[in-house]
Structure 1
C-alpha cells in the first residue's frame, strides 16, 4: 500500500508540474505576444507618421530605384537608367551599400537592393522612389532558379574549397560580385554548399547519371523546391521579401529596430498586417510602381513618367558635348557580363544640381533630343541584347546540373499543393501585389489623361497658329492693297494737277 501511495504522490506531483509548466508557457506566450505587438505597433506608427512633403508625381534631384530581386530591375537599370543618367551621376558602389555618407548625397541615381530604410540616410524632400513588383509565386520560383544557376557556375571546380577560393579572387577593385550583394550573399553560398554535397554523394554512391521528369524535384542533383521554401533561410529572406523590403525590414536594414520587428512578425503571423499597411503607404508615396508581368505597359509608363522628367531636367542645362558618358556607360555594361558570376559596375560620382550638369555628365538619351518614344525604341533594342546574353549564361550554367533544367513548362509540373503552400508562405506579398496592381492601373489612367491634355494643348496651339497665320496673311494682303491704292491715287492726282496748269 505504501508503494502505491508513493506512486500516487509522484503522479500528483508530475501532474502539478506539468500544469505549472503549461500555465507558465501560456503566460509567457501572452506576454511575448503583447511585447511583440507593442514593438511592431510602435514601429508602424512612427513609419506612417513620415509624410512626403513634395509632389510625389514630380521627379526630384535624386532617383532611388528600390530594386526588388527577380523583378526585372536590372534591365531597367541598363536599358533605361544608364541611358538617362551618366555613370558619373550614379551613387558609388550602390549594391554594396553606400561607401559615402548618404546624408550628404553626391549622386543623382541610386539603384540598389537595399530596402526602404535607406531613405533614413537620404534627403527625403529631394528623393523620388520607384520600384517594380512581381507575382509572388513567380518571384519565389525565380529566386530559387537564380540561386541554383549562380551556384552551379562553381561546379567547374573539383571541390568546395577550390570554388570558395576562386570566388574571392574574382572580386576586383571596380566590380562587386553577386556574392557581396543582398540577398545573394546568403542564398548563393548556401546553395553552392548544397550542390557540392550532393555531387560528392553521387560520386560516393556511383550515380553518374541522374534522370528525372521534374526539374524542381531532382534531389540527387539539387535541393528540391519543397525543401528550399521550407528552409529557415528562405523563410527569413525569400518569403514576403517584397513586403519586408518596401517596408524597410530586411535583414539588411539600416534600422536598429528592424531585427526585433521582423522577428516578431515571423513569430506571430497576425502582426504582419502592420507591416503590410506600412508597405502599402510606401507604394502610395512612390513616383512609379511597375509590374513585371505587365512588361510592355510598365516600360512605356516608366518612359513617360520617369524618362521624360529626367530628360527635361538635363535638357537645356548645357550644350551638347562629347560622348564620354556614353562610353562610360557601355564599359559598365560590359563589366557586368565579363566576370565569372554576375557583377555590378560602380562609379565614383559627385552631386550636382540640374543646372550644374556638364555636357560630359549628360546621359546618352539627353544628347540625342530623346523623347519617350525614342527612349522606348532604345529600350527594346537594349533588352533584346541583354536577354540573349543572360539566356546563354543561364543555359551554360544549368548544363552542369542537368536534368534540373528550369523552364516555364517545368513549372507546370509543380503540384497544386506545393503552389498553395508557396502562396500561404507569401501571404503578405500576395496582398501587396494586389495593391500594386491597383496603383498601376491608376498610374496608367493618369498617364493617358496627361497624354490627352498634352495633345489637346498641342492641337490648340497648332489651330491658333494656323488661325494666326491666315489672319496675318489677310492683314498683309489688305495693307498691300491699301498701299497700292494710295500710290495710284496720289499718282493720278499729280497727273491731273499738271494737266490743269
Structure 2
C-alpha cells in the first residue's frame, strides 16, 4: 500500500509551466523560501500515527470517491452533533465547538493550523492522477450543463448569482475547486450554445466524446488551460502539502507560486506530501476500493466505535472527555 501511495504521488507531480519567471520570484529567493517551508514541514514529533486521536480530519481530495467514505462510513460512525461546522471553501469555522470530533472538507492540509495537531488524526484517499483529471473534467461539464436547461438563465454570471441567492443551500459553486472550474465551464458552454444558435448546428459532431468542440470544451483544451494548470495539475500533491490556491495560510501562496514558477523546486513539495501521508492515520486508494474500504473499517471504524463508546461511558459516570 505504501509503495502504491508513493507511486500515485510521483505520477501526480507533473512538470508544468504555469507562471512566468519574475524578479519577485527569482530562483535564489524561491529556493530559500521553499527550503525553509519544507524544513519546517518535515520536522514532526508525531507519535502513534495509527492510534485515533480526539478529532478526525478527513482531507477529501476531489474525485477520489470520498463521498462514499463520508456517507457510508463517517456519517454512520459519528452523529451529526459530533460533526464540526461544515467548512469546505470557507476556512472560517470554530473547531472548539463542543463535541466537535469530525471535520470532512475539501480544504487542504493548511487547515491544520486551526486544529490542535496533537489531538488530530488525518485520513485521505488518493487516486491515479490521470483518472482524476478525466473525472474532474467530466464532473465540471456535468454540473455546468445542468444550468443550460434553464431558459431564464442566459449567462454563466447570472446563473452563479441566482444559485448563490438561495439561503441555507450549500451549492457546488461554493466549494473548492468547483467554485473555479464550474463557472469557467459554464461560461464556455453558454458561449458554444450561443454560437450554435447563430451559426446553426454542424453537419456532424464526430464520435469522440472528449472532442465535441461544437458543444463543449475539448479535453485537450481543458487540460492545457491556465485554470486547469493552476488547480488540477499536481492537485492531490498540493492539497496534501497545503499549497492549493485555497490555502488557509497566506505564506503558503508565496511557496506555491515559487514552486510553480521554478519546476525543479517541486521535489521539496513531493517530500513534504509523502511525509504527511506517512503520518496520517489512514490513506486509501480509489483503485483498490474494496481493500481500502476494508482497511478503513478495521483501522479507523473500529477505533472510532471504541473511542466513542469509552467517551459515552465517561460522560455517564460524570467525567468530562474534553
TM-score range, shorter chain: 0.7 to 0.9
C-alpha contact (below 8 Å) 2:64/2:127 kept by paired residues? yes
The DSSP-based 3-state class of the residue aligned with 1:94 is coil
Q: In structure 1, which of residues 148, 158, 167 is the aligned counterpart of residue 141 of structure 2?
A: 148
Matched, 1:62 2:55: yes
Deviation per CA, 1:85-135: give whole Å up to 9, x if none: 001111112224354333677510000000001111101111000000000
Task: Map 1:77-476 to 2 at 5 A.
Answer: 77-102=70-95, 106-158=99-151, 159-160=154-155, 162-169=158-165, 171-173=166-168, 175-207=169-201, 211-315=205-309, 317-318=311-312, 355-356=314-315
Matched, 1:33 2:27: yes
Q: TM-score, normalised by structure 2?
A: 0.86
Deviation per CA, 1:183-220: give whole Å up to 9, x if none: 00000000000000000001100117752200101111
Show structure 1 runs of 4+ deviating over 4 A: 27-31, 103-106
C-alpha contact (below 8 Å) 2:86/2:104 kept by paired residues? no
Deviation per CA, 1:409-442: give whole Å up to 9, x if none: xxxxxxxxxxxxxxxxxxxxxxxxxxxxxxxxxx
Q: Distance in 1 between matches of 2:71 and 2:164?
A: 26
Unaligned stretches of 5+ residues in structure 2: 1-20, 318-322
Q: Distance in 2 between matches of 1:66 and 1:127?
A: 12
TM-aligned CA distance change 1:284 to 1:316, over 3 Å: closer
TM-aligned CA distance change 1:244 to 1:317, over 3 Å: closer
Higher helix share: 1
Q: Distance in 2 between matches of 1:125 and 1:183?
A: 28
Q: Distance in 2 between matches of 1:116 and 1:30?
A: 26
The DSSP-based 3-state class of the residue aligned with 1:265 is helix
Aligned-CA RMSD value? 2.2
Larger Rg computed on CA atoms: 1
Q: TM-score, normalised by structure 1?
A: 0.56
Unaligned stretches of 5+ residues in structure 1: 1-26, 319-353, 359-501
Q: CA deviation at 1:165?
A: 4.1
The DSSP-based 3-state class of the residue aligned with 1:257 is helix
The DSSP-based 3-state class of the residue aligned with 1:315 is helix
Q: CA deviation at 1:30?
A: 12
Deviation per CA, 1:62-95: give whole Å up to 9, x if none: 0000000000001100000000000111111222
Q: Distance in 2 between matches of 1:120 and 1:31?
A: 25
The DSSP-based 3-state class of the residue aligned with 1:95 is coil
The DSSP-based 3-state class of the residue aligned with 1:246 is helix
**Residue matched to 1:404:** none
Q: Distance in 2 between matches of 1:40 and 1:104?
A: 34
The DSSP-based 3-state class of the residue aligned with 2:28 is helix
Q: CA deviation at 1:265?
A: 1.0
C-alpha contact (below 8 Å) 1:105/1:122 kept by paired residues? no
**Residue matched to 1:42:** 36
TM-aligned CA distance change 1:241 to 1:105, over 3 Å: farther
**Residue matched to 1:5:** none
Q: Distance in 2 between matches of 1:215 and 1:151?
A: 16
The DSSP-based 3-state class of the residue aligned with 1:250 is coil
Q: CA deviation at 1:262?
A: 1.0
TM-aligned CA distance change 1:258 to 1:28, over 3 Å: closer
